[in-house]
Structure 1
Amino acid sequence: MTDKNDSLSNPSASGASAQLSARKIERIKRELDSVPALPGCYLWKNAEGEVIYVGKAKQLRARMRQYVNFQDDRAKIPLLVDQIHSFEYLVVDNEHESLVLEKNLIKQHAPFFNADFKDDKSYPFIALTKSDVFPAIKYTRERHRAGTRYFGPFTDSRAARNLVDIARRIVPICASSCADWRRLSRSLERSDGATTASSRPCFDCHVGLGPGACCGRITPEEYAENVKKIARFLDGQHREFVDELSREMAQAAENLEFERAARIKDRIDTINSLTDKQRAVSSHALDADVVGIEREETVAGVHVLMVREGRIVNSNEFVLNRGRDVPDEDLLHMFLLRYYDATTSIPREVVVRNMPEDAEVMGEWLTGKLSSAHGAKVRFVAPKKGERAELVELAEKNAKHTLMRYKVRTNYDDKRINEALMQLESALAMDGPPYRIECFDISTIHGSYTVASMVVFTNGRPDKNQYRRFKIKTPLSEANDFLSMQEVMKRRYAPERMADRRFGSKPDLIILDGGKPQLNAVLQMFGEMGVDDIALAGLAKRDEELFVPWQNAGPVVLPGGSASLYLVKQVRDEAHRFAITFHRELRGKGMTASILDDVAGLGPVRKKALLGHFKSFKRLKEASLDDICAARVVPNEVAEELFAVLRQYNRDVAERATDASGTADGEE
Structure 2
Amino acid sequence: MDTTPDIQAQLGHVPDAPGVYLWKQAGEVLYVGKAKSLRKRMRQYTGGHDDRAMVPRMMARVDSFDYVTTTTEAESMILEANLIKELRPPYNVDFKDDKSFPFIALTLSDPFPAIKYTREKHKPGTRYFGPYTDARAARETMEVVRRVYPVCRATCVEWKRLTARSGEPTGTACFDYHVGKGPGPCVGAITQAEYRERIDKIAAFLEGRQREVADELERAMRVAAADLDYERAARLRNSLDAVRASLERQRVVSDRPLDLDVIGLEREETITGATVLLVREGRIVGANEFTLDKGLDAGEAELIEGFLLRYYGTASYVPREVVVPALPEEPQAAEAWLRGLRGTNVRLLVPQRGDKRSLLDLASTNARHSLTRYKHRTRYDEERLNRALLELESALALPAPPLRIECYDISTLHGRHSVGSMVVFTGGRADKAAYRRFKVRLPAEEANDVAMMAEVLRRRFAREGAGDTRFARQRPDLLLIDGGKPQLNAVRAVLDELGMSHVPLASLAKREEELWRPGWDEPVVLPSGSPSLYLVKRVRDEAHRFAVEYHRELRGKAMTASVLDEIPGVGPKRKKALLKHFGGIRKLRAATAEEIAAVPGVTRDVAEAVAEALQGE
Do residues 288 (structure 1) and 260 (structure 2) align? yes
Do residues 35 (structure 1) and 35 (structure 2) align? no
SS at match of 2:165: helix
Shift of 1:496: 4.9
Residue of structure 2 equivalent to 1:53: 31
Q: Deviations over 1:481-519 (max 9, x none)?
A: 111001011112238537555422111111111222211
User: Counterparts of 1:636 and 1:196 in 2: how far apart (Å)?
Assistant: 101
User: Counterparts of 2:101 and 2:605 in 1: how far apart (Å)?
Assistant: 78
Shift of 1:646: 4.5
SS at match of 1:578: helix
User: Counterparts of 2:275 and 2:75 in 1: how far apart (Å)?
Assistant: 28
User: Counterparts of 2:256 and 2:611 in 1: how far apart (Å)?
Assistant: 56
Residue of structure 2 equivalent to 1:132: 110
Kindly provide the amino acid, as one letter, of the partner of residue 127 in structure 2: R
Aligned residue runs from structure 1 range 337-416, under 5 A: 337-371=309-343, 376-416=344-384
Shift of 1:67: 0.6
Do residues 267 (structure 1) and 267 (structure 2) align? no
Kindly provide the amino acid, as one letter, of the partner of residue 202 in structure 2: I
Distance 1:565 1:212, change over 3 A: same
Residue of structure 2 equivalent to 1:112: 90
Paired residues of 2:302 and 2:329 also in contact (CA < 8 A): no
User: Counterparts of 2:600 and 2:498 in 1: how far apart (Å)?
Assistant: 59
Structure 2 counterpart of 1:518, from 487, 494, 504? 487
Distance 1:611 1:29, change over 3 A: same
Shift of 1:612: 4.4
Kindly provide the amino acid, as one letter, of the partner of residue 42 in structure 1: Y
Structure 2 counterpart of 1:509, from 478, 496, 499? 478
Structure 2 counterpart of 1:157, from 135, 152, 155? 135
Kindly provide the amino acid, as one letter, of the partner of residue 51 in structure 2: D
Aligned residue runs from structure 1 range 321-332, under 5 A: 321-332=293-304
Gaps of 5+ in 2: none
Paired residues of 1:613 and 1:631 also in contact (CA < 8 A): yes
User: Counterparts of 2:614 and 2:174 in 1: how far apart (Å)?
Assistant: 90
Structure 1 counterpart of 2:50, from 56, 72, 96? 72
Paired residues of 2:161 and 2:170 also in contact (CA < 8 A): no
Do residues 548 (structure 1) and 502 (structure 2) align? no
User: Counterparts of 1:294 and 1:582 in 2: how far apart (Å)?
Assistant: 30
User: Counterparts of 1:231 and 1:263 in 2: how far apart (Å)?
Assistant: 20
Do residues 88 (structure 1) and 66 (structure 2) align? yes
Do residues 539 (structure 1) and 517 (structure 2) align? no
- Give TM-score, length-normalised by structure 2: 0.96
Aligned residue runs from structure 1 range 430-579, under 5 A: 430-494=398-462, 496-497=464-465, 500=468, 502-504=470-472, 505-553=474-522, 555-579=523-547
Distance 1:254 1:26, change over 3 A: same
Paired residues of 1:344 and 1:369 also in contact (CA < 8 A): no
Shift of 1:624: 6.6
Q: Deviations over 1:9-65 (max 9, x none)?
A: xxxxxxxxx8xx3xx44321210111111111100012x221111100111111101
Paired residues of 2:597 and 2:607 also in contact (CA < 8 A): yes
Structure 1 counterpart of 2:228, from 250, 256, 271? 256
SS at match of 2:40: helix
User: Counterparts of 1:640 and 1:175 in 2: how far apart (Å)?
Assistant: 84
Residue of structure 2 equivalent to 1:315: 287
Paired residues of 2:266 and 2:273 also in contact (CA < 8 A): yes
Distance 1:570 1:498, change over 3 A: farther
Residue of structure 1 equivalent to 2:197: 225
Residue of structure 1 equivalent to 2:120: 142
218-227 or 420-429, larger mean C-alpha shift: 218-227
Kindly provide the amino acid, as one letter, of the partner of residue 554 in structure 2: L
Paired residues of 1:40 and 1:95 also in contact (CA < 8 A): yes
SS at match of 1:142: coil
User: Counterparts of 2:225 and 2:340 in 1: how far apart (Å)?
Assistant: 42
Q: CA RMSD in A?
A: 2.0
Q: Deviations over 1:381-438 (max 9, x none)?
A: 2111111111111111111111111111111111011000000011111111111100
Kindly provide the amino acid, as one letter, of the partner of residue 140 in structure 1: T
480-489 or 609-618, larger mean C-alpha shift: 609-618
Do residues 26 (structure 1) and 26 (structure 2) align? no
Distance 1:632 1:527, change over 3 A: closer
SS at match of 2:423: strand
Paired residues of 2:413 and 2:447 also in contact (CA < 8 A): yes
Distance 1:646 1:345, change over 3 A: closer
Paired residues of 2:53 and 2:529 also in contact (CA < 8 A): yes
User: Counterparts of 2:488 and 2:62 in 1: how far apart (Å)?
Assistant: 34
Q: Deviations over 1:538-564 (max 9, x none)?
A: 1112222212223213x2111111100
User: Counterparts of 1:277 and 1:496 in 2: how far apart (Å)?
Assistant: 61
Kindly provide the amino acid, as one letter, of the partner of residue 104 in structure 1: N
Paired residues of 2:304 and 2:326 also in contact (CA < 8 A): no
Q: Deviations over 1:225-264 (max 9, x none)?
A: 1111111111011122122222322332233222112111
SS at match of 1:503: coil
Shift of 1:203: 1.2
Paired residues of 1:303 and 1:395 also in contact (CA < 8 A): yes
SS at match of 1:543: coil
SS at match of 2:60: helix
Aligned residue runs from structure 1 range 163-312, under 5 A: 163-188=141-166, 195-312=167-284
Do residues 421 (structure 1) and 400 (structure 2) align? no
Q: Deviations over 1:348-381 (max 9, x none)?
A: 111112222322222222222223xxxx421112
Distance 1:624 1:173, change over 3 A: closer
SS at match of 1:493: helix
User: Counterparts of 2:213 and 2:109 in 1: how far apart (Å)?
Assistant: 24
Shift of 1:221: 1.6
User: Counterparts of 1:295 and 1:137 in 2: how far apart (Å)?
Assistant: 37
Shift of 1:625: 6.4
Q: Deviations over 1:425-459 (max 9, x none)?
A: 11111111111100001011111111101001111
**Percentage of pairs with the same residue:** 53
Shift of 1:642: 4.8
Kindly provide the amino acid, as one letter, of the partner of residue 375 in structure 2: K
User: Counterparts of 1:300 and 1:617 in 2: how far apart (Å)?
Assistant: 41
How many residues were matched structurally?
616
Shift of 1:291: 0.6
Residue of structure 2 equivalent to 1:11: none
User: Counterparts of 2:212 and 2:281 in 1: how far apart (Å)?
Assistant: 9
Gaps of 5+ in 1: 1-17, 189-194, 651-668
User: Counterparts of 1:625 and 1:302 in 2: how far apart (Å)?
Assistant: 52
Shift of 1:617: 1.7
User: Counterparts of 1:460 and 1:501 in 2: how far apart (Å)?
Assistant: 23
Paired residues of 1:44 and 1:54 also in contact (CA < 8 A): yes
SS at match of 2:313: helix
User: Counterparts of 2:615 and 2:315 in 1: how far apart (Å)?
Assistant: 64
Distance 1:215 1:496, change over 3 A: closer
User: Counterparts of 1:246 and 1:187 in 2: how far apart (Å)?
Assistant: 36
Paired residues of 1:511 and 1:539 also in contact (CA < 8 A): yes
User: Counterparts of 2:174 and 2:606 in 1: how far apart (Å)?
Assistant: 99
